[in-house]
Structure 1
Amino acid sequence: MLDQVAELVREVAHTVVLPRFKHLSADEVHQKSPGDLVTIADQESEKALTRGLTALLPGSVVVGEEGVAADPRVQDRLGDSGAVWVVDPVDGTNNFAQGRTPFCVMVALVRDGETTAAWILDVVADRLTVAETGSGAYRDGVRVKTRTDDPGATALTGVIAHRYFPDDLRAQVLAQAAGLGNHHIGRHCAGYEYPAVATDEQQFAMFWRILPWDHVPGSLIVREAGGVVRHLDGAEYRPVGHKRGLLVAANEDIWTSVHSTLFPDGRPPAHT
């Protein structure tokens, strides 16, 4: 199944998504909400992935970004028993629409509310990261593991994607972030940020808006590589959860170092 889905993801990326990169006409890009774009590539990619994934696993259902945009009730399927595919047909759509990289195609398989497998393809780099519960995480067939040490907060590099943070959380986090070695707003592509933690390109990433297609695939990859994915109150992230705010880290000690640096009194704002 891992190889079959990987082949499908690559095929859709190379035949549906990549040919439209830097070749979108104005009528092929639309705004779902202020600053949130959708393109014809997103729509056609999701349709192709849905056909292929449900054929590979008869009886399964798909929760995809564009399907949920059309009918928000589709997201409720994540809590169903049985097999549910979570699909982000183009992660990093704003990058894609503006002719920039990175952008990815992402798929995860959720069974009875728990993620069991994940695939993230960085389309332009043609770099595939996969994970299966209990079997580890792999990039292009080579096993990847997060770093196991904690060099200390001032030596850490990571992402604080604060665009959607509530004002009080943003103010608190950015005021304390000077205690971290290096942080940036990110590349507007969760499919890039999660594998970057898994491969030690960066040691942490922090998000607020938690849409399942953005975070379900990457969370399994980071965990299978040895990392930690938790809400800001310390609760483990699950696909069916509705909390906002996530802190992703290469290991337990780094999670604690980042969290204690950003929240020195141990308590993030109450609405998290």
Structure 2
Amino acid sequence: MTLEIDVAALAALMQEAADAEILPRFRNLGAGDIRAKSEAIDLVTEADEAAERFMKARMEAILPGALFVGEESTAVDPSLLDQLAGADLAVVVDPIDGTYNYAAGMPLFGVMASVVAKGETVAGIIYDPLGNDWVIAEKGSGAWMCRPDGSQEKLAVSPAPDLEAMVGCASTGFYAADMRAVIMGKLAQVRVAASYRCAAHEYRTLAGGFLHFLMYQKLMPWDHLAGCLIAEEAGAHVARFDGTPYRPGDLAGGLLVASDRDAWTELREKVFVA
């Protein structure tokens, strides 16, 4: 039986949640509306929680019977992570990716959702509330920029240049200090290594052909499932540091995304070495 996913309805729900709960609070948060979670740079806001509640309440109508795994729901019930890999059907939501940017009033945040069926990511959406557009992928159907006027543009990664000309994003903050110093030193081999502190926009930018690589040490499904599918459908090579595929149940092992397999191998061997 073929799984039918109403991607348009899911995309519309993300837009509705942003309109109702995220955009009205942007640059309008009170001191009590922002809280630290694991550390000072790991934040949650009233907008994160309200947007997730909004989507969760309406998700059953779009994906009946699906396990709902949201970043804020999992903070309350960590067992949701254990259920994800084995679920027949699940939807994984990051209500605001880039919460630190959002809380600081920086216009670089997004809403992410992915659909997982029997351990495989089959659909991914990244919505930009400020740009009011979506990057969407369904497995085997390519990655697409979708605009509110109904127009669509197929996305493709940029061919990788020589290592010294590569531009990418690398999240080094979750390495131990000694290893972080090593990796950051090796990143001097590429032309630009940045961090937007927002995986949503990093994945969108790579899929649109403006970055050659992404690297992450911390793996949480709401941060990467949608983006990895979008990157793969745009032609990128995606794998954990040991070369194995990235799956919904993977919470460790690092993640490297590059324009193609050869670029991935060169980056892994010369830059992101253990």
What TM-score do the two structures reach when normalised by structure 1?
A: 0.93
Q: How does 1:113-124 map to 2 (within 5 A)?
A: 113-124=119-130
Which residue identity lines up with residue 250 of structure 2 in the other structure?
Answer: G
Unaligned residue ranges in structure 1 (runs of 5+): none
2:63 paired with 1:52 = no
- Match of residue 27 from structure 1: 32
Q: Distance in 1 between matches of 2:76 and 2:60?
A: 19
Deviation at 1:58, TM superposition (A): 1.2
2:12 paired with 1:7 = yes
Which has the larger displacement, 163-172 or 38-47?
Answer: 163-172
Q: How does 1:1-272 map to 2 (within 5 A)?
A: 1-35=6-40, 36-140=42-146, 141-147=152-158, 149-184=159-194, 186-263=195-272, 268-269=273-274
Q: Distance in 2 between matches of 1:54 and 1:18?
A: 24
Residue 200 of structure 1 aligns to a residue whose secondary structure is coil
Which has the larger displacement, 202-211 or 168-177?
Answer: 168-177
Deviation at 1:179, TM superposition (A): 1.4
Residue 10 of structure 1 aligns to a residue whose secondary structure is helix
Q: How many residues align?
A: 263
Moved beyond 6 Å, runs of 4+: none
Residue 240 of structure 1 aligns to a residue whose secondary structure is coil
> For residues 78-126 of structure 1, what are the alpha-carbon distances to aligned partners after superposition, in whole Å with 9 as ceiling and x for unaligned?
1233110000011011111111121101100000010000110112122
Unaligned residue ranges in structure 2 (runs of 5+): 1-5, 147-151
Q: Distance in 2 between matches of 1:15 and 1:250?
A: 36
Which residue identity lines up with residue 145 of structure 1 in the other structure?
Answer: A
Residue 58 of structure 1 aligns to a residue whose secondary structure is coil
Over the aligned positions, Cα root-mean-square deviation in angstroms equals 1.3
Which residue identity lines up with residue 146 of structure 1 in the other structure?
Answer: V
Contact map agreement 1:210 1:246 (CA 8 A) in 2: yes
State, as a whole percentage, how many aligned pairs show the same letter.
37
- Match of residue 149 from structure 2: none
Which residue identity lines up with residue 34 of structure 1 in the other structure?
Answer: E
Deviation at 1:33, TM superposition (A): 2.0
Contact map agreement 1:180 1:261 (CA 8 A) in 2: no
Q: Distance in 2 between matches of 1:256 and 1:152?
A: 13
